[in-house]
Amino acid sequence: MTPSLHDLSFDIGTLSRGYESGNFTPQDVIAEVYRRIGAAGERPVWITLTPREVALAKVVAAAKGPLHGIPFAVKDNIDVAGLPTTCACPEFAYTPERSATVVERLEAAGAIVIGKTNLDQFATGLVGTRSPYGIPASVFNAEYVSGGSSSGSAVAVAGGIVSFALGTDTAGSGRVPAGFNNIVGLKPTKGWISTRGVVPACRTQDVVSIFGLTVADAAQVMSVAGAYDAEDAYARRAKPFSVSGFDAGLRVGVPASGLDFFGDADAEALYHASVEGLRGLGALVVDVDVAPFREAAQLLYSGPWVAERYAAIREFVSAQPDALDETVGGIIIRAKGLSTVDAFAGFYRLAELTRAAEAQWQTMDVMLLPTTGTTYKIADVLANPIQLNSNLGAYTNFVNLMDLSALAVPAGFRPNGLPFGVTLIGRAFDDGRLAALGDALHRTLTDLKLGGTSKALAETTPAVPARAVGRIAVAVVGAHLSGQPLNSQLQERNARLLRTTRTAPGYRFYALAATTPAKPGLVYDGSGPGNIEVEIWEMDAAAFGSFVALIPSPLGIGTLKLEDGSEVKGFVCEAHAIAGAQDITHFGSWRAWLGRDT
| CATH number of the domain residue 424 falls in | 3.90.1300.10
- pLDDT tier, 18 (very low <50, low <70, confident <90, very high otherwise): very high
Is the same domain home to 184 and 83? yes
Residues linked to residue 497 through DSSP beta bridges, in sequence order: 537
Mark which of 412, 433, 459 sits at the end of a domain. Answer: 459
Chain-centroid distance of CA 130 in Å reads: 26
Nearest to 156 by CA among 70, 45, 69: 45
The mean pLDDT value for 23-51 works out to 93
Q: Report how far residue 101's alpha carbon sits from residue 241's, in angstroms, rounded to the nearest whole number.
A: 17
* Chain centroid to CA 408: 6
Select the more confidently predicted residue: 401 or 482: 401
**59 shares a domain with 192:** yes
Terminal alpha carbon distance of the chain: 60
pLDDT digits (tens, 9 = 90+) for 498-546: 888 999 999 999 999 988 888 999 999 888 998 999 999 988 888 888 8
Q: Is residue 297 part of a domain?
A: no
pLDDT (tens digit, 9 = 90+) per residue, 386-426?
Answer: 999 999 999 999 999 999 999 999 999 999 999 999 999 99
293-300 mean pLDDT: 94
Task: Quote helix, strand, coil % in the chain, to nearest 5.
Answer: 35, 25, 40
Contact 560, 534 (CB under 8 A): yes
Supply the pLDDT for residue 301.
Answer: 87
The CATH number covering residue 582 comes to: 3.10.490.10
DSSP class of 241: P
CA distance 463 to 218: 9
d(CA 201, CA 306): 9
- Pairing mode of beta strands 46-49, 141-145: unpaired
Q: Report the length, in residues, of the chain.
A: 598
Kindly state whether residue 300 falls inside one of the protein's structural domains. Answer: no
pLDDT for residue 1: 43
Q: CA 111 to CA 59: how far, in whole Å?
A: 8
Interval 337-364: pLDDT, tens: 888 999 999 999 999 999 999 999 999 9
Taking the CA atoms of residue 330, residue 333, residue 339 and residue 340 in that order, the dihedral angle to the nearest 10 degrees is 120
Let me know whether 447 and 484 are in one domain: no
Quick one: pLDDT at residue 598?
Answer: 60
Same-domain status, 282 and 371: yes
530, 384: one domain: no
User: Do 54 and 200 belong together in one domain?
Assistant: yes
349 belongs to a structural domain:
no
Identity of residue 109: A
Q: Are residues 193 and 122 in the same domain?
A: yes
Share of the chain above pLDDT 90, in %: 77
Helix (H, G, I), strand (E, B) or coil at 329: helix
User: What tens digit of pLDDT does each residue of 436-475 get?
Assistant: 999 999 999 988 999 999 999 999 989 877 655 577 899 9
Which pLDDT value is given to residue 469? Answer: 56
- Sign of the four-CA dihedral 139, 143, 147, 150: positive
Contact 455, 402 (CB under 8 A): no
d(CA 296, CA 341): 18
What pLDDT, in 10s, does the model give residues 553-586?
A: 889 888 899 988 888 899 999 888 888 899 999 9
Closest CA to 122 of 112, 113, 114, 132: 132
Reported as a single tens digit per residue, the pLDDT across 105-133 is 999 999 999 999 999 999 999 999 999 99
Of 167, 128, 163, residue with least CA distance to 147: 128
- Full domain range(s) for residue 499: 471-594
Considering the domain boundaries, does residue 439 fall inside one? yes
335 in Cβ contact with 307 (< 8 Å): yes
Please give the share of the chain, as a percent, with pLDDT higher than 70: 98
Instruction: Give the pLDDT score at 3.
Output: 45
Inside any domain, residue 325: no
Exposure pattern of 383-394 as b/e (b: 16+ CB <10 Å)? eebeebbbbbbb
Answer yes or no: do 62 and 151 share one domain.
yes
Q: How confident is the model at residue 596 (pLDDT cuts 50, 70, 90)?
A: confident
Please list, in sequence order, all residues whose beta carbon lies within 8 angstroms of the beta carbon of residue 217, skipping any fewer than 6 positions away. Answer: 11, 12, 13, 163, 164, 184
- Residues 97/85, Cβ–Cβ less than 8 Å: no
Alpha helix stretches (DSSP H) within 167-313: 176-180, 215-225, 265-280, 291-302, 305-312
Q: Which residue type does 545 have?
A: G
- Kindly state whether residues 45 and 65 are assigned to the same domain: yes
Q: Do 276 and 391 have their domain in common?
A: yes
pLDDT at res. 436: 95
User: What is residue 2's predicted lDDT score, i.e. its pLDDT?
Assistant: 46
Q: Which residues are catalytic?
A: 75, 149, 173
Query: How far is Cα 539 from Cα 534, in angstroms, rounded to an integer?
Result: 16
Which residues are within 8 A (CB) of 439 and not within 5 positions of it... i.e. 6 or more apart? 214, 215, 216, 219, 243, 409, 462, 463
Q: Is residue 320 part of a domain?
A: no
pTM, to two decimals: 0.80
Predicted confidence at residue 141, as pLDDT, reads 97
Spatial separation of the C-alpha atoms in residues 245 and 464, rounded to whole Å: 8
Which long-range contacts link 57-62 to residues 24+ away (Cβ below 8 Å)?
A: 58/107, 58/112, 58/113, 59/26, 59/27, 59/30, 59/112, 60/27, 62/26, 62/107, 62/110, 62/111, 62/112
Q: Is residue 45 part of a domain?
A: yes
Q: How far apart are CA 15 and CA 204, in angstroms?
A: 36
| 47 and 83 together in one domain | yes
pLDDT score at 466 = 66
459, 488, 513 - which closes a domain: 459
**According to the model, what pLDDT value does residue 42 have?**
65
Other Cβ atoms within 10 Å of 308 Cβ, number: 20
Is the separation of the CB atoms in 439 and 463 below 8 Å?
A: yes
Domain co-membership, 279 together with 428? yes
Q: Which amino acid is present at 579?
A: A
Is 117 inside any structural domain?
A: yes
**How many domains in the chain?**
2
pLDDT at 233 (0 to 100): 97
